[in-house]
Amino acid sequence: MLPKLLWIAFFGALGALARYGLGGWVQRQASGAFPWGTVAVNLSGCLAFGLIWTLASERHLIGGEWRVILLVGFLGAYTTFSSFVFETGEMMRAGEWLAALGNMALQNVLGLAALFAGIVLGRLL
């Protein structure tokens, strides 16, 4: 178990560095206030998640442990947005449209509410 955790931590560090590097580079190229760097990270993370998932679960080219290391470690640090999109997409594929829409609304609306609550809390401390 410890070696697997070390691999997850190592790939998590690589994911964080990749996020910082790509997001910053794209934002500098685009300039302006719109968060193009974050858009680039989130979209590339979704593409990577779909690719890794398919290569692991359908094509069997990536083993189960490496799937976890890459998805939880690298992509978990790179962007959790890809997990959110994948899970919502799985609900849609299963025909659970109400659950998918609820997931999108819940995470976005409550995420914004939690952000502002954290800001208020931080100002009170």
| CB within 8 Å of 91: residues ≥ 6 apart | 97, 99, 100, 103
Confidence at residue 78, expressed as pLDDT on a 0 to 100 scale: 97
Confidence at residue 120, expressed as pLDDT on a 0 to 100 scale: 92
Confidence at residue 93, expressed as pLDDT on a 0 to 100 scale: 96
Average pLDDT rounded to a whole number, residues 40-60: 95
Average pLDDT rounded to a whole number, residues 11-29: 97
User: CA nearest 66: which of 58, 55, 82, 79?
Assistant: 55
The model's pTM: 0.84
Q: Is 42 exposed, middle or buried (0-12, 13-18, 19+ CB in 10 A)?
A: buried
Write out pLDDT tens, residues 102-112.
Answer: 999 999 999 99
